[in-house]
Amino acid sequence: MVSFKQLTYALAVDQTRHFNKAAELCSVSQSALSTAITELEKQLGIQIFERDTRKVLVTPLGKEILKKARGIKIQVDDLCLLAQSRKKPLSSSIKIGVIPTIAPYLLPRVLPALHKEYPDCKLRIIEEQSHELIDRVRNGDIDTAILALPYTIKGLLALEFWHEDFYLIAHESDPRSQLTEINSDKLKDAGLMLLADGHCLKDHALAACQFKPNEIDKTFTSASLNTLVQMVAGRMGSTLVPEMALKNLLSISPELKAVHIGEPGPHRILAFIIRPNYTGTKNIELLKTLFSEQLANHRKQ
């Protein structure tokens, strides 16, 4: 008989497209995982994966099997969550995905309060880009994802917990750094350096200033806000950062100044993304309240 363990192993291989990485993900030996999947294929009478020395491919019929398996896993996970809902709030493990432009600035502000108020809650944090986290929420691989909106989340729900604006980070030698607020028409020749394509923060920054991508100099881009601000400290140009990251990034150099972007806001919204039928919604709503309160407290400081 097909077992839930076999289906979990198969989904891990589909996710990683690598038997060894799938075994690590499932905390079993590669031989045990391979044996279980071979037995699954034998029981079903079909081949799910094509294997060679370099890659793993999913057969056309295998894709249908894995789609069904994913639905079964989501239902079983939700069944376990339903049972846990009878326990104390936030007293179990929760898998949360966070994008890289939020994680290092949000988590240090909220985790101490979370551990104090809900000591039994164990967060498992996965840091990935938005599109990857959306897929993981849909597939039931994680409970929720913290994303910056606007972003396409078709079929999912967004529980908003924070609104914020963007700021120009400029070197004190830049005349713009002496302003308290700046409009987009004064930014086009500011030598703006932004994140590389594919980061939603770049899209949000451009939208906040009402710029098109071709209106920004692309001589330097980065995958890291920290690197961009280091370049500003080196007088290579300026950049745009969200309010949440200001304190951390301004600490890089005393010569850095922040100027509020005076365009209609909020320029981005942070939210928990969940499936519509997710049975742990009450726990996510508690996290939403706690995160919102902690961020508001930090804003007052």
Q: Mean per-residue pLDDT for 182-188?
A: 85
pLDDT reading at 14 higher than 60:
yes
| Domains of the chain and any CATH numbers | 4-84 (1.10.10.10), 93-163+268-300 (3.40.190.10), 166-261 (3.40.190.10)
Give the three-class secondary structure for 46.
coil
Give the pLDDT score at 252. 94
Give the pLDDT score at 200. 86
pLDDT reading at 191 higher than 60:
yes
Which pLDDT tens digit goes with each residue over 249-274?
999 999 999 999 998 889 999 999 99
Which pLDDT tens digit goes with each residue over 149-166?
999 999 999 999 999 999
pLDDT reading at 217 higher than 70:
no
Residue type for position 109: R
pLDDT reading at 89 higher than 90:
no
Give the pLDDT score at 265. 82
pLDDT reading at 74 higher than 70:
yes
What per-residue string of b and e applies to 228-249 under the rule 16 or more CB within 10 Å gives b?
Answer: bbbbbbeeebbbbbbbbbbeeb
Q: How is residue 150 written in tokens?
A: 């606007």
Which pLDDT tens digit goes with each residue over 23-70?
988 888 989 899 999 999 999 988 999 887 678 889 988 889 998 888
Give the pLDDT score at 155. 92
Does the CA dihedral 110-115-121-123 come out positive or negative?
positive
Which pLDDT tens digit goes with each residue over 119-128?
988 899 999 9
Give the pLDDT score at 193. 87
Strands 144-149 and 268-274 turn out to be antiparallel
Give the pLDDT score at 239. 92
Residue 288, phi-psi category: left (phi > 0), alpha (psi -120 to 50), beta (remainder):
alpha
Whole-model pTM? 0.75
